[in-house]
Amino acid sequence: MAARASRKLLRDFLFRRACTTPIASARHCSSAAETAPKIPHFSKKGRLLTGTFLGLVIGGGAYVSTVDEATFCGWLFSATKLVNPFFALLDPEVAHRLGVSAAARGWVPREKRPDPSNLGLEVWGRKFSNPVGLAAGFDKNAEAVDGLLGLGFGFVEIGSVTPVPQEGNPKPRIFRLREEGAIINRCGFNSEGIVAVAKRLGAQHGKRKLDETTSTSSSSGEEVKPGGKAGPGILGVNLGKNKTSEDASSDYVQGVHTLSQYADYLVINVSSPNTPGLRMLQGRKQLKDLVKRVQAARDEMQWGEEGPPPLLVKIAPDLSKEDLEDIAAVALALRLDGLIISNTTVSRPDPVSTNPVASEAGGLSGKPLFNISTSFLKDMYILTRGKVPLIGCGGISSGEDAYKKIRAGASLVQLYTAFAYGGPALIPQIKAELSECLERDGFKSVSEAVGADCRVATAKV
């Protein structure tokens, strides 16, 4: 009896619920029309607007589905320009944080178009699909390696990573000089430390390797794919030292022990202007001792067929001619695998000097750094007689700039500041322009153009 009553109650309840949803009530409840609530009537204008909107969505969707992947990818990259003005309104460090989080979550476009074939090159036995990389400092803690590589960079350098986590300098510590296309920063190696970064890289390494294996097994081609240890993208790990550490070389050795297994190349950063005493390590004796110790630490580890990752040193653009000669001598004597030229400058070249922000302490990057760092690059290429691969960094904001660095002696190039201003759309643009520059001047590949502006000078040395 109770069961029958409760079944009736349930039936009544369900029936009433069904009748209160507009579509269901229209279809099934005509007999109960007088008890059902009134179906809301849209005005003629409302119906017209809804119809137009739906038509646009359906028509747009149908059109997009006919567009090929490359065109769609191009649209996505161009569309990212729309968010640049919004980012420009935010505090630089907040904007940077947002950018890293977006890339870490995959909320950035993924480059599906192949790189122009004249951009491919081999350095340290590794195949780079293009020579344009992301410089250190953007992804200091390896949070977004996959997303950043997916943007189409030929390689991404994470760090600088310090052995022990440290906060860096007090905020604000990043300043925009928008009109000059420049930034001044005094971050001071804010880092989550080698252990946190190793955990993150370990997890990503496994995932990227798995993705690579899956995609390799499905492709029939025999050609060697560009890429590093863990997949199609090449990963550099930039090592720093803790502010309070008294034994700098021991800090770099700790970095090597913990992170080198994930690195396609390692960088000893002795050129940040924001860690007291760091730049002193660029002196001839200090650098020689440091590189020897780090090389030994790396070589003592167990390496498979591929051998240990190449070791590079990143230098400042504020050195004297003698300093450069000393560094070149050390690089040649110790068979250093490469040099990155350069980090930020403590100088304030024109037109920055007249900007009130120029008085902020820290390293200047972006367009005003281009000439200084390119001239250093050229000097170093000549001093090392083209025997040490160089990464040209500082002020690159176009394909023509990247091309000039290559002609000045860079095998690879990196950028940070122009990417911070221009966003993802800048990367395909730089690659396309660089490819055109090579073609225009009759170079079949990047390698052919490396050091083109120094050939007469090198012949004379």
Ligand X SMILES: Cc1cc2nc3c(=O)[nH]c(=O)nc-3n(C[C@H](O)[C@H](O)[C@H](O)COP(=O)(O)O)c2cc1C
Alpha carbons 296 and 319: distance in angstroms, whole number? 27
Tokens 């005094």, located at residue: 186
336/326 Cα distance (integer angstroms):
13
Which residue number has the CB closest to ligand X?
A: 137
Instruction: For the CB of residue 166, give the shortest distance to ligand X in the complex, in Å.
Output: 12
Question: Strand 155-161 vs strand 234-239: parallel, antiparallel, or unpaired?
Answer: parallel
272 is catalytic: yes
Q: In whole angstroms, how close is the CB of 52 to ligand X at the nearest point?
A: 46
- The minimum distance between CB 425 and ligand X, in angstroms, equals 16
Mention every residue, 6+ apart, whose C-beta is less than 8 A from residue 232: 129, 149, 212, 225, 226
Cα angle vertex 45, ends 39, 48, to 5°? 90
- Choose between 187 and 434: whose C-beta lies nearer to ligand X: 187
91 phi/psi in degrees, rounded to 5: -60, 140
d(CA 92, CA 272): 19
Residues that bind ligand X (CB under 6 A): 135-137, 140, 159-160, 174, 183, 185, 187, 238, 269, 272, 314, 343-344, 365-366, 369, 393-396, 415-418
> Which one of 272, 342, 365, 435 is the catalytic residue?
272
Of the pair 36, 324, the CB lying nearest ligand X is at 324
The residue behind tokens 């990196």 is 414
Tell me how far apart the alpha carbons of residues 195 and 193 are, in angstroms, rounded to a whole number.
6
| 25 or 269: CB nearest ligand X | 269
From the CB of 340, what's the least distance to ligand X, in Å? Answer: 7
- Is the bond leading into 172 cis (omega within 30 degrees of zero)? yes
Beta bridge mates, 183 = 176, 365
Q: How far is the CB of 342 from ligand X (least distance, A)?
A: 6
- Output the 3-class SS for 371-408: HHHHHHHHHHHHHCCCCCCEEEECCCCCHHHHHHHHHC
Closest CB to ligand X among 412 and 415? 415
Between 297 and 402, CB nearer to ligand X: 402
Q: Active-site residues: which are they? A: 272
